[in-house]
Amino acid sequence: MSLQVQPRVSLKPFNSFGVDVEAQLFAEAHSDADVRDALAYATAHAVPLLVIGGGSNLLLTADIQALVLRMATRGIRVLSDDGSQVVIEAEAGEPWHPFVQHTLAAGLSGLENLSLIPGTVGAAPMQNIGAYGVEIKDVFAGLTALDRQTGELRDFTLQDCNFAYRDSVFKQQPGRWLILRVRFTLSRAAHLHLEYGPVRQRLTEQGIDQPTPTDVSQAICSIRSEKLPDPAVLGNAGSFFKNPLVPASLVAHLKFEYPDLVAYAQADGQMKLAAGWLIEKAGWKGFRDADTGVHKLQALVLVNYGGATGLQLLELAQRIQQDISQRFGVELEMEPNRY
Ligand code: FAD
Ligand code: NAP
């Protein structure tokens, strides 16, 4: 067995909140064989298995009594190329942003709006990662996952994944599917999505009126770097709450009291509220309690100033949820995966 299992490993370097909890057992998977060895090890030792990627969407509230398996498999390959569309596959452990850059350098369009999202390729389908008007479902070609219940491999189509806003079958069936590799259909011709206000504005400021996918990626990287804390400097897990989908009638009601309320119409008739606006309006932006806080530039991001525990961050999140519910009658749902 090539898998190296270590006892009692601090997970501080392996979660972007920088929360210091310990894994009972820890290993890294560099191949499918390592993944199978980890499953066998967990079964033989009667411990649960927790799979992680970059740890950028985790809230760890206690020591993890499990074998924590960090996906470190690497490899990117072109599966087909008809001259206009290319199907490209990446292993689960590939870091997401370098993979996006790899596709752009190869002259492929489709992932540029998803630039600078932390984490791995294998975790991207978990919550159908999205930013600036694009979600991975828009360019998704398929994935291969291991069914942890049967040990069998399964290929998933777009329909199988049940993708929705920050949601998928993988999130709905926690712990069942271990994603090994993901495929995307990308284009040689650019089909750009510039409808999210700041993107077009940034390109215009730079004097770019005919942007390439790389221009869009660079504009998004610069916007994100200005607004979002770098986890290497200030612990965070990106947006802590999902933007709530609410009935249009509630938005109409709230607009009486808050004419500047930010809400976006959805195809199904619902409205999406900007959770960050609600939290900022309630006065939480820049709030700090001991080492937990709400980021001063983006109210949707909770931060760890150094020594916060997962439970303290959870407590702050719950206070915010309660306040938003009381003020606006809106229930905020947490986005990070809690363990
Ligand atoms: P982890 O945090 O390690 O894991 C997340 C979940 O996926 C866990 O439940 C884990 O068990 C599971 N998992 C991980 N790998 C696998 C696998 N191979 N098979 C099965 N299950 C697996 N998200 C967005 O959608 N849009 C954004 O714009 C965005 N911006 C962010 C900005 C910052 C600064 C940060 C810190 C986070 C941001 N996120 C964003 C959240 C996060 O980056 C994404 O959700 C990312 O896909 C998580 O990847 P990860 O590898 O770090 O997953
Ligand atoms: P923003 O531009 O301040 O906008 C606030 C919210 O309004 C966004 O979350 C977005 O919802 C929504 N929005 C803005 N323009 C819209 C439009 N034209 N049509 C529909 N909805 C619109 O957002 P931000 O916080 O700086 O983030 C920018 C993008 O990166 C967003 O897409 C956001 O989701 C993504 N992001 C995600 C995370 C994460 O951890 N999940 C972290 C950082 C950034 P949506 O979120 O639904 O797009």
Ligand 2 center to residue 117 CA distance, Å? 12
> Given this model, what pLDDT does residue 304 score?
98
| Residue range 113-146, pLDDT digits in tens | 999 999 999 999 999 999 999 999 999 999 999 9
Residue 51 lies inside a defined structural domain of this protein: yes
Q: Which residues sit opposite 9 in a β-bridge?
A: 23
Residue of 206, 239, 241, 234 lying closest to 220 (CA atoms)? 206
CATH at residue 330: 3.90.78.10
CATH at residue 42: 3.30.43.10
Residue 223 lies inside a defined structural domain of this protein: no
> Given this model, what pLDDT does residue 316 score?
98
- End-of-domain residue from the set 187, 220, 250: 187
Identify the three-state secondary structure at position 195.
coil
- End-of-domain residue from the set 129, 152, 187: 187
Residues 314 and 246 in one domain: yes
Residue of 77, 5, 11 lying closest to 34 (CA atoms)? 5
Tokens of 284: 């939480």
**Rounded alpha-carbon distances, angstroms, from residue 7 to 11, 34, 65:** 12, 17, 11
Residue of 95, 109, 171, 174 lying closest to 138 (CA atoms)? 109
> Given this model, what pLDDT does residue 322 score?
98
- End-of-domain residue from the set 187, 216, 249: 187
Domain containing 274 equals 235-338
Structure confidence at residue 32 as a pLDDT band (50, 70, 90)? very high
DSSP structural state of residue 136: G
In one-letter notation, the amino acid at residue 173 is Q
Q: At residue 1, does pLDDT exceed 80?
A: no
C-alpha span between 126 and 179 (Å, rounded): 9
- Per the annotation, the verdict on 10 as an active-site residue is no
Residue 202 lies inside a defined structural domain of this protein: no
Catalytic residue (choose from 70, 109, 112, 166): 166
Residue 209 lies inside a defined structural domain of this protein: no
- Please report where in the chains the tokens 């630039």 appear, as a residue: 115
| Residue range 160-215, pLDDT digits in tens | 999 999 999 999 999 999 999 999 999 999 999 998 879 999 999 999 999 999 99
DSSP 225-250: HHHS--TTTSEEEEESBPPPEE-HHH
Residues 155 and 111 in one domain: yes
For residue 265, the tally of other CB atoms under 10 A from its CB is 11
In one-letter notation, the amino acid at residue 303 is V
Residues 81 and 168 in one domain: yes
Asked whether 80 and 329 are in contact (CB, 8 A), the reply is no
Catalytic residue (choose from 109, 115, 168, 239): 239
CA–centroid distance for 216 within its chain: 20
Is the beta carbon of 132 within 6 A of some atom in ligand 2? yes
Which ligand sits nearest to residue 245's alpha carbon? 2
Ligand 2 center to residue 203 CA distance, Å? 18
Give me the number of domains the chain comprises.
3
